Chains A and B, each alone.
Chain A
Amino acid sequence: MEVLREKVEEEEAAEREEAAERAEWAEKMERMTKTAEVSKEETIMTQDELRDLEKRLTSIEISIPAEYSFINKSLIDVTKLPPSYSTNSPKEEHLLQVADNFSRQYSHLCPDRVPLFLCPLNECNVPKFVSTTLRPTLMPYPELYNWDSCSQFVSDFLTMVPLLDPLKPVIKEEEKAMPKKYTVKPPRDLTSKFEQEQENKRLQEIKNQEEKRLREAEERLLAEEKAKPDPLHGLRVHCWVLVLAGKREVPESFFIDPLTAHSYSTKDDHFLGIESLWNHKNYWINMQDCWNCCKELVFDLGDPVRWEYMLLGTDKPHLSLTEEDEDVLDDDDDIDNLGKEEEDKSFDMPPSWVAQIEITPDEFETRCPNGKKVIRYKRAQLEKWAPYLNNNGLVCRLTVYEDLQCTKVLEIKEWYQNREDTLELKHINKITGLHVDYFRPGHPQALRVHSYKSMLPEMDRVMEFYEKIRVDGLIKREETPLTMTEYYQGRSDFLSYRHINFGPRVKKLTQNSAESNPRPMVKITERFLRNPAKPADEDVAERVFLIVEERIQLRYHCRDDYITSSKREFLRRTEVDSKGNKIIMTPDMCISFEVEPMEHTKKLLYQYETMIHLKNEEKLSRHQAWESELEVLEILKLREEEDDAHMLTISIYDTKRNEKSKEYREAMERVLHEEHMRQVESQLDYLAPFLAQLPPGEKLTRWQAVRLKDECLSDFKQRLIDKANLIQARFEKETQELQKKQQWYQENQVTLSPEDEDLYLSYCSQAMFRIRILEQRLNRHKELAPLKYLALEEKLYKDPRLVDFVKVFV
Chain B
Amino acid sequence: MSRPFDSMDPKVMDDDMLKVAVVEQGPQEEAGQLAKQEGILFKDVRSLQLDFRNILRIDNLWQFENLQKLQLNNNIIERIEGLENLIHLVWLDLSFNNIEAIEGLDTLVNLEDLSLSNNRIAKIDSLDALVKLQVLSLGNNQIGNIMNIIYLRQFSCLRTLTLSENPIAEAEEYKEFIYAYLPDLVYLDFRRIDEQAREASKLKHQYSIDEMKHREALMRARLEDEKAQRQMLEEHKLAFIERLNGPFLFNSMYSEDVEGNKLSSLPGVDELLETYKDKFVIICLNIFEYGLKQQEKRMAELDTFNECIQDAIRENQEQGKLKVTKFEEKHLLNLNAIREESDLPNIEKKLIECSDDITDLFNVLMTLEMQLVEQLEETINIFERNITDMVGLFIENVQSLMAQCRDLENHHHEKILEIAINTLEKILKNEMDEDLPDDVRALFVDKDTIVNAVGASHDIHLLKIDNREDELVTGINSWCAHLLDKIHREEIVRNRKRVKEINQYIDHMQSELDNLECGDIIDI
Instruction: Check B38 for interface membership: any CB of A closer than 8 A.
Output: yes
Inter-subunit contact A605/B34 (CB<8 Å):
yes
Contact of B44 among A563, A595, A600, A604 (CB under 8 A): A600
- Pick from B242-250, B467-475, B497-505 the stretch touching chain A: B497-505
Contact of A595 among B37, B320, B323, B501 (CB under 8 A): B501
Knowing A584-B30, A600-B44, A605-B27 touch, does A563 contact B501 (C-beta < 8 A)?
A: yes
Knowing A558-B321, A561-B494, A593-B508 touch, does A604 contact B37 (C-beta < 8 A)?
A: yes
Inter-subunit contact B321/A563 (CB<8 Å):
yes
Instruction: Check A609 for interface membership: any CB of B closer than 8 A.
Output: yes
Chain A 595-617 residues near chain B, CB threshold 8 A: 595, 600, 603-605, 608-609, 612
Instruction: Check B31 for interface membership: any CB of A closer than 8 A.
Output: yes
Q: Which A residues are in CB contact (< 8 Å) with B504?
A: 564, 595
Chain B 468-523 residues near chain A, CB threshold 8 A: 494, 497-498, 501-502, 504-505, 508, 512
Inter-subunit contact A563/B317 (CB<8 Å):
yes
Q: Min CB distance, B470 to chain A, in Å?
A: 40
Contact of A604 among B38, B317, B497 (CB under 8 A): B38
Tell me, in angstroms, the Cα distance from A612 to B37 when the chains sit together: 18
Q: How many A-B residue pairs have CB under 8 A?
A: 49
Q: Min CB distance, A523 to chain B, in Å?
A: 12
Q: Which B residues are in CB contact (< 8 Å) with A591?
A: 512
Tell me, in angstroms, the Cα distance from A584 to B30 when the chains sit together: 7
Knowing A584-B33, A609-B31 touch, does A562 contact B44 (C-beta < 8 A)?
A: no
Instruction: Check B365 for interface membership: any CB of A closer than 8 A.
Output: yes
Inter-subunit contact A608/B31 (CB<8 Å):
yes
Interface of B is mostly: helix
Inter-subunit contact B501/A604 (CB<8 Å):
no
Instruction: Check A727 for interface membership: any CB of B closer than 8 A.
Output: no
Inter-subunit contact A562/B501 (CB<8 Å):
yes
Knowing A563-B320, A584-B30 touch, does A593 contact B37 (C-beta < 8 A)?
A: no
Query: Which A residue's beta carbon lies closest to that of B319?
Result: A563
Instruction: Check A706 for interface membership: any CB of B closer than 8 A.
Output: no
Q: Min CB distance, B314 to chain A, in Å?
A: 9
Instruction: Check B401 for interface membership: any CB of A closer than 8 A.
Output: no
Tell me, in angstroms, the Cα distance from A137 to B502 when the chains sit together: 83
Q: Min CB distance, B418 to chain A, in Å?
A: 69
Instruction: Check B35 for interface membership: any CB of A closer than 8 A.
Output: yes
Inter-subunit contact A604/B34 (CB<8 Å):
yes
Q: Which B residues are in CB contact (< 8 Å) with A595?
A: 501, 504-505
Q: Which B residues are in CB contact (< 8 Å) with A562?
A: 317, 501
Tell me, in angstroms, the Cα distance from A800 to B336 when the chains sit together: 111
Instruction: Check A585 for interface membership: any CB of B closer than 8 A.
Output: yes
Knowing A595-B501, A605-B27, A608-B30 touch, does A563 contact B365 (C-beta < 8 A)?
A: yes
Q: Min CB distance, B501 to chain A, in Å?
A: 6
Contact of A564 among B34, B35, B38, B501 (CB under 8 A): B501
Q: Which of A558, A563, A585, A612 has the most CB of B within 10 A?
A: A563
Tell me, in angstroms, the Cα distance from A612 to B34 when the chains sit together: 13
Inter-subunit contact A605/B508 (CB<8 Å):
no
Interface residues on chain B, number (Cβ under 8 Å) = 26
Tell me, in angstroms, the Cα distance from A600 to B40 when the chains sit together: 11
Chain A 564-608 residues near chain B, CB threshold 8 A: 564, 584-585, 591, 593, 595, 600, 603-605, 608
Instruction: Check B70 for interface membership: any CB of A closer than 8 A.
Output: no
Q: Which B residues are in CB contact (< 8 Å) with A609?
A: 27, 31
Contact of A585 among B34, B313, B494 (CB under 8 A): B34
Instruction: Check B324 for interface membership: any CB of A closer than 8 A.
Output: yes
Inter-subunit contact A605/B38 (CB<8 Å):
yes
Query: Which A residue's beta carbon lies closest to that of B332?
Result: A553
Query: Which A residue's beta carbon lies closest to that of B318?
Result: A563
Q: Which A residues are in CB contact (< 8 Å) with B324?
A: 563-564
Q: Min CB distance, B312 to chain A, in Å?
A: 13
Q: Min CB distance, A594 to chain B, in Å?
A: 9
Interface 1/0 per residue, B19-42 and A, CB below 8 Å: 000000001001101110110100
Tell me, in angstroms, the Cα distance from A595 to B497 when the chains sit together: 10
Tell me, in angstroms, the Cα distance from A561 to B496 when the chains sit together: 12
Q: Min CB distance, B331 to chain A, in Å?
A: 12
Inter-subunit contact A603/B497 (CB<8 Å):
no
Query: Which B residue's beta carbon lies closest to that of A603?
Result: B38
Inter-subunit contact B505/A564 (CB<8 Å):
yes
Chain B 321-353 residues near chain A, CB threshold 8 A: 321, 323-324
Tell me, in angstroms, the Cα distance from A248 to B378 when the chains sit together: 67
Tell me, in angstroms, the Cα distance from A584 to B38 when the chains sit together: 13
Query: Which A residue's beta carbon lies closest to that of B498?
Result: A563
Knowing A563-B324, A563-B501, A600-B44 touch, does A605 contact B31 (C-beta < 8 A)?
A: yes
Tell me, in angstroms, the Cα distance from A531 to B127 when the chains sit together: 35
Q: Which A residues are in CB contact (< 8 Å) with B505?
A: 564, 593, 595
Interface 1/0 per residue, A610-651 and B, CB below 8 Å: 001000000000000000000000000000000000000000
Query: Which A residue's beta carbon lies closest to that of B322?
Result: A563
Q: Which of B27, B34, B365 has the most CB of A within 10 A?
A: B34
Q: Min CB distance, B340 to chain A, in Å?
A: 12
Query: Which A residue's beta carbon lies closest to that of B310?
Result: A561
Inter-subunit contact B501/A584 (CB<8 Å):
no
Q: Min CB distance, A101 to chain B, in Å?
A: 86
Interface 1/0 per residue, A649-670 and B, CB below 8 Å: 0000000000000000000000
Tell me, in angstroms, the Cα distance from A591 to B38 when the chains sit together: 18
Tell me, in angstroms, the Cα distance from A609 to B31 when the chains sit together: 8
Inter-subunit contact B497/A561 (CB<8 Å):
yes
Q: Which A residues are in CB contact (< 8 Å) with B38?
A: 603-605
Tell me, in angstroms, the Cα distance from A584 to B37 when the chains sit together: 11
Q: Min CB distance, B33 to chain A, in Å?
A: 6
Tell me, in angstroms, the Cα distance from A584 to B35 when the chains sit together: 11
Tell me, in angstroms, the Cα distance from A333 to B38 when the chains sit together: 106
Q: Min CB distance, A416 to chain B, in Å?
A: 44
Q: Which B residues are in CB contact (< 8 Å) with A593?
A: 505, 508
Q: Which A residues are in CB contact (< 8 Å) with B512?
A: 591
Q: Which A residues are in CB contact (< 8 Å) with B31?
A: 605, 608-609, 612
Chain A 180-208 residues near chain B, CB threshold 8 A: none
Q: Min CB distance, A735 to chain B, in Å?
A: 77
Interface 1/0 per residue, A405-446 and B, CB below 8 Å: 000000000000000000000000000000000000000000
Q: Min CB distance, A595 to chain B, in Å?
A: 6
Q: Min CB distance, B517 to chain A, in Å?
A: 15
Q: Which of A561, A595, A600, A605 has the most CB of B within 10 A?
A: A605
Query: Which B residue's beta carbon lies closest to that of A599?
Result: B41
Q: Which A residues are in CB contact (< 8 Å) with B320?
A: 563
Inter-subunit contact B317/A561 (CB<8 Å):
yes
Q: Which A residues are in CB contact (< 8 Å) with B497?
A: 561
Q: Which B residues are in CB contact (< 8 Å) with A608?
A: 30-31, 34
Q: Which of B320, B365, B501, B502 has the most CB of A within 10 A?
A: B501
Inter-subunit contact A584/B34 (CB<8 Å):
yes
Tell me, in angstroms, the Cα distance from A562 to B365 when the chains sit together: 12
Contact of B35 among A563, A600, A605 (CB under 8 A): A605
Tell me, in angstroms, the Cα distance from A558 to B321 when the chains sit together: 9
Q: Min CB distance, B307 to chain A, in Å?
A: 16
Q: Which B residues are in CB contact (< 8 Å) with A605?
A: 27, 31, 34-35, 38, 40
Q: Which B residues are in CB contact (< 8 Å) with A600?
A: 44
Q: Min CB distance, B57 to chain A, in Å?
A: 31
Residues of B at the A interface (CB closer than 8 Å) are 27, 30-31, 33-35, 37-38, 40, 44, 313, 317, 320-321, 323-324, 365, 494, 497-498, 501-502, 504-505, 508, 512
Q: Can you list 25 A-B contacts with CB-CB less than 8 angstroms, sorted by A residue number? A: A561-B313, A561-B317, A562-B317, A562-B501, A563-B321, A563-B323, A563-B365, A563-B501, A563-B502, A564-B501, A564-B502, A564-B505, A584-B30, A584-B33, A585-B30, A585-B34, A591-B512, A595-B504, A595-B505, A605-B34, A605-B40, A608-B31, A608-B34, A609-B27, A609-B31
Task: List 10 extra interface pairs beyond A561-B313, A563-B365, A564-B502, CB under 8 A.
Answer: A561-B494, A563-B320, A564-B324, A593-B505, A595-B504, A600-B44, A605-B34, A605-B40, A608-B31, A608-B34
User: Can you list the 3 inter-chain pairs with the closest CB atoms, starting with the nearest?
Assistant: A563-B320, A564-B505, A593-B508
